[in-house]
A and B are shown apart, each in its own frame.
Chain A
Amino acid sequence: MFFENLINRGSLPALVSTAAFTEERHRMIAENVANIGVPGYKTRQLDVKAFQSALGRALDRRGSDPRNPFVLEGNRQVRTNERGGLVVTPTQRPVENLLFHDGTNLSIERQMSDLAENAMMHELTNTLLRKKYDGLHKAIRGRS
């Protein structure tokens, strides 16, 4: 309980959740790219904006008291399970104005750009996490 109070402070749970989310989203994009050329395959997607608003709601619900749990819910695509892990349910990307003769709606360009943006977000999150953990270590050890 004491350690949980230390970890559930400030932006740390938001960073941890986002790192998990970007990893899951990367896996989903990898599956989309692997299925290039498979007839009838509809690309799957995880909405980043929806995730960010769920994150905002979870932060608000926890408030400033670290004893309140940090839980993602109310969103069809992402939620926190009983063990505190992140569960994602990708949805099929709605058909925009893109539909090829073989019934697919995959745009390589869109997937590659999503891949790059997602990877950058993941790197940024890991960097900030590293900084936070280093700060905690410094404070515990009492020297830099």
Chain B
Amino acid sequence: MYGTLDISTSALVAQRRQLDTISGNIANMHATRDANGQPNPYRRRVALFATGDPSRGRGAPGVHVARIVNDPSPCHLKFDPDHPDAVMAGPQKGYVRLPNVDLSTEMVNALFAVRAYEANVTVMEITKSMAASDLRLLA
């Protein structure tokens, strides 16, 4: 029974990391400069899930976030010649390069992560009640 709790816990941890990634994306969706102040727009980050829980040993059941990678899709372009970070020359002159984050996509992903999180919490509740019922056999 207790191994079963570990499986659900690994899922809670992974979904939490997914939500953190999504929150980071939403928070930075207008950031045209990086941490050093250089004009380098924020790139959307994606959490990659994989089966198994290496933190509990090889082959342990569960799920984990294998990697968090940058989304390689191109930046959004918005025409705004008065913006301090507008492109000065070339074919994109007058356009601002904004992060490749789409709010509706992030919100849908967030809803999915929350639903998965709640589903795993339900599983844990039932695991606990089954363990209690097994104990009552003895008492």
Q: Which of A19-57 contact B (CB under 8 A)?
A: 19, 23, 26-27, 29-31, 33-39, 41
Q: B130 contacts A122, CB within 8 Å? A: yes
A134, chain B: closest CB distance, angstroms: 10
Interface of B is mostly: helix
B residues less than 8 Å from A19 (CB atoms): 134
User: Which one of A2-10, A58-66, A80-88, A123-131 is at the interface?
Assistant: A123-131
Interface of A is mostly: helix
CB distance from B69 to the nearest CB of A (A): 13
Q: In the complex, A115→B1 CA distance in Å?
A: 14
**B10 on the interface (CB 8 Å rule)?**
yes
Say yes or no: A34 contacts B50, CB within 8 Å.
no
Q: B8's contact among A33, A37, A111, A129, by CB below 8 Å, is which?
A: A33
Q: Which of B8, B10, B116, B137 contacts A130 (CB 8 A)?
A: B137
The answer to whether B51 touches A33, judged by C-beta atoms less than 8 angstroms apart, is no
| Complex contact B61–A31 (CB within 8 A) | yes
* Bound-complex Cα distance A108 to B113 (A): 12
B75-95 at interface with A (beta carbon < 8 Å): none
Which of chain A's residues have a CB closer than 8 A to the CB of B134?
Answer: 19, 23, 126
Q: Is the CB of B3 within 8 A of A27?
A: yes
> Closest CB of chain B to A10's CB: distance in Å?
18
Known interface pairs A31-B62, A36-B116; A133-B137 also in contact (CB < 8 Å): yes
Residue A119 lies at the interface, judged by CB distance under 8 Å to chain B = yes
A-B contacts counted at CB < 8 A amount to 81
Nearest Cβ distance between residue A142 and chain B, in whole angstroms?
A: 22
A31 touches B7 (CB 8 A): yes
A41→B11 contact, CB < 8 A = no
Report yes or no: B63 in contact with A34, Cβ–Cβ below 8 A.
yes
Task: Give which listed residue, B1, B61, B113, B115, contacts A23 with CB less than 8 A.
Answer: B1
Verify A29–B116 contact, CB threshold 8 A. Answer: no
Given A33-B8, A33-B120, A35-B51 in contact, is the A26-B126 Cβ separation under 8 Å? Answer: yes
In the assembled complex, the CB of B120 is this many whole angstroms from the nearest CB of chain A, namely: 6
Q: Which of A75-126 contact B (CB under 8 A)?
A: 108, 111-112, 115-116, 119, 122-123, 126
A interface residue numbers (CB < 8 A to B): 19, 23, 26-27, 29-31, 33-39, 41, 108, 111-112, 115-116, 119, 122-123, 126, 129-130, 133
> Closest 3 interchain pairs by CB?
A34-B11, A36-B116, A38-B49
